[in-house]
Structure 1
Amino acid sequence: MEKGRLEAFSDGVLAIIITIMVLELKVPHGDSWDVLFPQWPVFLSYVLSFIYVGIYWNNHHHLLQAAEKVSGGVLWMNLHLLFWLSLMPVATGWMGENHFARLPVALYGVVLLMCAVAWVPLQYCLIAANGGRESLLAQAIGRDWKGKVAVTMYLIGIVLAFVAPWVSCLLYATVAAIWFIPDRRIESRIKQ
């Protein structure tokens, strides 16, 4: 199967996710700075989630650039990833509306964790559909240390959310910072 439809569908879903998240930002009533202050938790959670969705979109693009074809398994694993990403607006809204309370921060971490977990079988299915362990994609992904660090930090963040939710948010932001710069492994392999 060609990968064009998969890319177009995924791009559309991610665009809708971002649109839904921005709708959580309510227009303040008033014309002074003090009416904006109560909105800061919602805005901050939106910014973090916008960055995360952007990171997934960017890395999804790079991942598919190294693939020439997709299989039925790839389609299902891509839907698995999109399912977890589609929960981002709910987790984002709940966390922001409740001013980074413990349970919403923990749930946000669970959604982030499940997105990261869903990424792994998508990679493996793409590798299998494009030549296996000797493929360009398999060589580019390598040991995926950033993925392992992310999962570990999400797990720690989920547990810490019940004690220190702000520490959890800092961990989630740190993972975003680690992934903010696109993964150059795939680009460098394609250029070779």
Structure 2
Amino acid sequence: MKTSRLEAFSDGVMAIIITIMVLELSAPEGTDFQSLLAKAPVFISYVASFIYVGIYWNNHHHLFQITQKVIGKTLWANLHLLFWLSLIPFTTAWIGDNYEAKLPIISYGVVLLGNAIAYFILQSVIIKSHDDAFPLKKPLERMVKEKFL
């Protein structure tokens, strides 16, 4: 299977994720600066999450630009990543409304960690499905070895 269908599906899911996040933003109750400042935690959590989703979208795009084939494991690993990315709007809204509470902050961190692990799994599955000439194989193998030494 070529990568174009997987890329298009993933792009669509990430666009929906960003759309859901922006729809969670609401206008301030009043028209003064204090009303606007009261919305700062919600806006800051949105900006941080938008950046995270943007980084994953960008990295995903570059990863699939060099990927030559997609196997079943790649599809499942990609869905795993999209699952974790899809939780970002929920934790973004929760932390924006409850920025001083521990559980929303912990949940946001767990979701971000889940995204990182899922991306690592996706990258590993792609590398293993290609031969030794795959451009990412050697640099990433070195990085893994360096992390454990």
Q: 1:31 to 1:52 in 2, by over 3 A?
A: same
Distance 1:138 1:49 in 2: 30
3-state SS in 2 of match to 1:36? helix
Partner of 1:40: 40
Residues 37, 54 of structure 1: alpha-carbon distance in 2 compared, 3 angstrom cutoff = same
The alpha-carbon distance between structure 1 residues 58 and 38, as it changes in their structure 2 partners (threshold 3 A), is same
**In structure 2, what residue type is equivalent to 1:87?**
L
- 2:144 matched to 1:136? no
Name the CA distance, whole Å, in 2 between partners of 1:22 and 1:136.
Answer: 36
After superposition, the CA RMSD in angstroms is: 1.5
Is 1:28 aligned with 2:32? Answer: no
Within 2, Cα distance between the matches of 1:51 and 1:85? 12
TM-score (structure 2 length as normaliser): 0.91
Shifted more, 106-115 versus 96-105: the winner is 96-105
Shift of 1:140: 4.2
CA shift for structure 1 position 144: 4.2
Question: Structure 1 stretches of 5 or more lacking a match?
Answer: 149-192
1:140–1:70 distance in 2 versus 1, CA, 3 Å: farther
How many matched pairs? 145
- 1:41–1:100 CA contact under 8 A, matched in 2: no
State the identity %. 57
AA aligned to 1:45 is S
- Higher RCO structure, 1 or 2 (CA under 8 Å, sep 6+): 2
2:81 corresponds to which residue?
Answer: 81
TM norm structure 1: 0.71
Residue 37 of structure 1: how far off its partner (Å): 1.2
User: Which amino acid in structure 2 is aligned with residue 114 of structure 1?
Assistant: G
Q: 4+ residue stretches of structure 1 with deviation over 2 A?
A: 139-145
Deviation at 1:134, TM superposition (A): 4.1
Per-residue CA distance 1:84-136 (angstroms, 9 max, x = gap): 000000011111100242111011000000111111221111112222x4421
- Whether 1:72 aligns to 2:72 is yes
